[in-house]
Structure 1
Amino acid sequence: MAEPVTATAAPPVAPVDERLPLKRLVPLACQHLLAGVAAPVSSVILIATTLKLSTTQTASLLSATLVLCGVGALLQSLGVAVLRVGARLPFLMLPGGAAVAIFLQIAQEYGPATASGSVLVAAAFLLCVLPFYGRLVRLFPPLVMGTTVVLIGINMIKVTAPMVASGPGLGFATLGVIAVFFLVLRGVWRQMAVLLGLVCGTVIAALMGTDIEVAHGGTFALPDPFPYGAPHFDLLAAIPLLVFALASLAEATGQTVLNSEAVGRTPDAGRDVPRIARADALVSLASGLFGTSLMVTSAENIGIVQLTRVRSRFVTAAAGVLLIVCGLITPLTRVLAAIPEPVVGAAGLVIYAVIAVMGFGMLSRTDLSHGTDSVVIALALVIGMLPIVAPEMYAGLPTWARTLFGSGVAAGAIAAVVLSAVFRTLGPRITPAKPDAPGAPPSDGSP
């Protein structure tokens, strides 16, 4: 008699791969959308205001950015296994604040077409260096990353301050509103403080009688490519973005570990970081064609994962779909594009001041007790600050040297990388002090 066939239990599904019913998926995806939408909106409006774009151009740029953020979220959450693209983790992809700062710096010095060309160069460069990820990431310890981020924040505060000066009353009112939101809001709503400040600042402007121009058009539209004309390629002008592209590998390493631990997956930076960076680079190639900055994978939605305890990557994939839909609804992008300049400037001051503080936080993880690292940081900050506080110093240099050293971000970042490597190789060997044995006299010879 044949033995009865027993059904084998299906292997348990990992939390990160769990598929949720639609009635749970949509509200959870909306939470991730709210956590991530502030970055693309504020970044694009800052770009458009700095470059004096029309409301129609701004709406198209915002549409492109939201669509690309959605595509990036889909790539990172679902992955394309055959191309080794995407980490298959609950990531969002957003325009990095530091990348936007560098993009604007290049656009102001060389024109927006050169800035778009620099994005394309940096994205292609990132794809080319990924095979050397393990060696390159060691060039960007917290010392280098922190110094670079501090310089980016300070440099962009200088850029956005004149926007507030164009309407100081409105600008400072918006700053106050943003501060109040940070004070009273909690959870995902606190992450929306800057975006809500932009909305309230616009309402205040309307009540003050400021003329707010909203462009007209249809309900749905695709964004326009090449908003600044054909991209212009200048390798020297692109150096700051090339440095940022390399530094993003170090940032992606930390984010991969953080996200993997949040969803219960064993971190594997050697496998996942190149896949994350490959998706970043591919989406950034598209962003260069549509006139915006480098796109980077962001872990700022991890708080939502920890808050809800829902670890499924399909939730962020659904958030990506919502971002694409928002980007294609043109009345929404046209309204956001009409935010007045002083309001944008106030939001920009907050964003870039926070970036500078993040840099100081990175530097706090550096051991400054022996003095060597503090000297490296000091010299790199001097080199990076001089173009900001005394740009006339470089007026007499050849064009290539003025391009290289006249950019505070590029000069400071390169100085930090070189000085860190030199001091680590040729400087005194630093060994951690051993704790004194119980009952032994203190090692410093004191009684």
Structure 2
Amino acid sequence: METNHPRHDGAPAAEVHPVDQIRPVGTLFLFAVQHILVMVAAPVSSVFLIAKALNLSDALSSALLSSVFVFCGLGSILQSVGIGRIGVRLPFIMLPGGAATILFISIAQGTDLQTAAGAVILTGIFYILAVTLFVRILKYFPPLVIGTMVVVIGISLVKVTGLLFTGRPGTEHFGDPRQLLLALVTIALTVLCFRFLRGFLRQLSVALGLVGGTLFAMALGETHFISLAAGPLISTPTLFPFGMPHLDLVAAIPMLVWSLASMAEATGQTVINGEIVGREVDPPRDVPRVIRSDGIISIIGGLFGTPVMVTSGENIGIVRASGVRSRYVTAVAGALLVVIGFTPLARMLNGIPPAVVGGTAVVVFAIISVLGIQMLARVDFTRTGNLVTCTLALALGLLPVLIPGMYHSLPANVQTIFGSGVAMSALVAVLLNLLFHHCGARDRDDLAKEPDAGPQARPADYRI
């Protein structure tokens, strides 16, 4: 609830925007925990993949898990609170990038761990240097482009998290009925909380659904929290865990190419987050703040062995579902993530069954796609250019999501762009938007609707 604070002269002060409101400590804590419960699978699975693929020792894996949680927390605080032109001051959570984790493993397997860590540092530097150029093309990201990207982002996340309870096709446990049951019970409990709870408890529906799903899993014997508690009581990030990072620009090229798609994704996430919380986003001002934060945290995190850290859209669905828009919620979540990074909780959170996390995440991430559809609903699709742009951007963006590996015969660097649904949808949407709205005369449908429109789009076209 927005409140007015009286000024010294007796006149009412300007209303505090919900994004800037500091809620009572108790509610801040509970809402922060809700964000953590939804995002916890990402850092844990990231470290698990790296440890298994690169045969890391238990001690090194524990130190890496600690580092990832700590830098997730520091990045979330930086984005939520902001320092000068670093941090966007919106409710955001930072996570290790999924594609970035795969690229980290690939570079390490092709060279060594020191070179992989160096690639992370180089990518962080590239973020900071390239954002000045990137901001100049943001005028080519109108709601048509961003809305299409957000739809693909949501669908991509639903597919990735759906695998947590379906398993991968072709594996022994694919479609295990017990795992499907856990996910469906979690989803059902979440829906029931939204339907029958009111006020504060309703805002915690996502967390309550996840807790209920976990309790159901415990009754079925599907949890293993006690075994995960074994180990050191205090974990600490380790500086240079793989040795001194090796800065090899050639080896880092796949990660640098991917970072371009990451910046485009950050644009869509920033705009949609601003829309959800009701704060106008100015992309040329706010997107660089997001990307600079990603770069700084990735540079420092690379010194401690983490993959590239990115501001995630995973928590955007939580903000929309709960209606809690305060950036201090995610700031507190960041502080809790730092604390978790130094305790056994980092290991124990991995005891939440993947199917339960997947069921929760599917609900949250599907909301992101709906928000993209909501943004596209404001686009005039009677214009041929808009219709063709959205149609092809969705089709070519969803193909690599629906048919993984379809570009496996292409060079690795090309696969990095074409194989990412978000990158592909952004690339196609931007190019077609340029073709129809920025190159010469517009198509006839557009000219008929806007007889006075020039060849250039209005400057505010990208704003929400």
TM-score relative to the length of structure 1: 0.70
| 1:325 alignment partner, one of 336, 339, 342 | 339
SS of match in other structure, 2:93: strand
SS of match in other structure, 2:92: strand
Q: Aligned-pair distance for 1:318?
A: 5.5
| 1:220 alignment partner, one of 195, 220, 234 | 234
User: Aligned residue for 2:130?
Assistant: 129
Q: Equivalences for 1:127-276 in 2 at 5 Å?
A: 127-132=128-133, 134-165=135-166, 166=173, 167-185=176-194, 186=198, 189-190=201-202, 192-210=204-222, 212=224, 213-224=227-238, 233-253=251-271, 255=273, 261=279, 273-276=287-290
Q: Aligned-pair distance for 1:154?
A: 3.6
Q: Aligned-pair distance for 1:351?
A: 4.3
What residue identity is the alignment partner of 1:67?
V
Q: Equivalences for 1:72-83 in 2 at 5 Å?
A: 72-76=75-79, 78-81=81-84
What residue identity is the alignment partner of 1:127?
I
Q: Aligned-pair distance for 1:94?
A: 0.6
Distance 1:57 1:417, change over 3 A: farther
**Distance (whole Å) between structure 1 residues aligned to residue 74 and residue 360 of structure 2:** 26
8 A contact 2:73–2:94 mirrored in 1? no
Whether 1:365 and 2:383 are equivalent positions in the alignment is no
Q: In terms of mean alpha carbon deviation, does 51-60 or 195-204 score higher? A: 51-60
| 1:428 alignment partner, one of 429, 443, 447 | 443
Q: Equivalences for 1:8-19 in 2 at 5 Å?
A: none
Whether 1:279 and 2:293 are equivalent positions in the alignment is yes
What residue identity is the alignment partner of 1:379?
L
User: Aligned residue for 2:170?
Assistant: none
Q: In terms of mean alpha carbon deviation, does 140-149 or 294-303 score higher? A: 294-303
8 A contact 1:173–1:201 mirrored in 2? yes
Distance 1:58 1:151, change over 3 A: farther
What residue identity is the alignment partner of 2:297?
V
**Distance (whole Å) between structure 2 residues aligned to residue 393 and residue 77 of structure 1:** 38
What residue identity is the alignment partner of 1:244?
S
SS of match in other structure, 1:294: strand
Q: Aligned-pair distance for 1:210?
A: 3.7
User: Aligned residue for 1:442?
Assistant: none
**Distance (whole Å) between structure 2 residues aligned to residue 204 and residue 219 of structure 1:** 28
Q: Equivalences for 1:307-318 in 2 at 5 Å?
A: none
8 A contact 2:38–2:360 mirrored in 1? no
SS of match in other structure, 2:40: helix
Q: Aligned-pair distance for 1:431?
A: 4.8
Distance 1:181 1:133, change over 3 A: same
Whether 1:408 and 2:411 are equivalent positions in the alignment is no
Q: Aligned-pair distance for 1:336?
A: 0.7
What residue identity is the alignment partner of 2:28?
A
What residue identity is the alignment partner of 2:310?
L
User: Aligned residue for 1:295?
Assistant: 311
Q: Cα RMSD (Å) of the superposition?
A: 4.6
**Distance (whole Å) between structure 2 residues aligned to residue 220 and residue 331 of structure 1:** 7
TM-score relative to the length of structure 2: 0.68
* Residues 266-297 of structure 1 deviation map (CA, whole Å, 9 limit, x = unaligned): 97766555444433432243455423641359
Distance 1:117 1:387, change over 3 A: farther
**Distance (whole Å) between structure 2 residues aligned to residue 305 and residue 209 of structure 1:** 30
8 A contact 1:35–1:188 mirrored in 2? no
What residue identity is the alignment partner of 2:432?
L
SS of match in other structure, 2:352: coil
What residue identity is the alignment partner of 1:203?
L
Q: Aligned-pair distance for 1:370?
A: 1.8
* Residues 140-160 of structure 1 deviation map (CA, whole Å, 9 limit, x = unaligned): 222222333333444444444
Q: Aligned-pair distance for 1:101?
A: 4.7
Distance 1:293 1:358, change over 3 A: farther
* Residues 39-93 of structure 1 deviation map (CA, whole Å, 9 limit, x = unaligned): 4313334545666859988876664444334423543455434xx3345x4x443
**Distance (whole Å) between structure 2 residues aligned to residue 244 and residue 346 of structure 1:** 26
SS of match in other structure, 2:228: coil
Q: Aligned-pair distance for 1:248?
A: 1.6
Distance 1:12 1:275, change over 3 A: farther
Distance 1:192 1:116, change over 3 A: farther
Q: Aligned-pair distance for 1:25?
A: 5.4
Q: Equivalences for 1:59-74 in 2 at 5 Å?
A: 63-74=66-77
Q: Aligned-pair distance for 1:350?
A: 3.6
Q: In terms of mean alpha carbon deviation, does 332-341 or 425-434 score higher? A: 425-434
8 A contact 1:224–1:290 mirrored in 2? no
What residue identity is the alignment partner of 1:85?
I
SS of match in other structure, 1:214: helix
Unaligned runs of 5+ in 1: 1-7, 435-447
**Distance (whole Å) between structure 2 residues aligned to residue 44 and residue 138 of structure 1:** 33
**Distance (whole Å) between structure 1 residues aligned to residue 311 and residue 209 of structure 2:** 24
* Residues 317-361 of structure 1 deviation map (CA, whole Å, 9 limit, x = unaligned): 556444433433x23222211233433443444444344333333
Q: Aligned-pair distance for 1:127?
A: 1.5
Distance 1:129 1:110, change over 3 A: closer
Distance 1:236 1:306, change over 3 A: closer
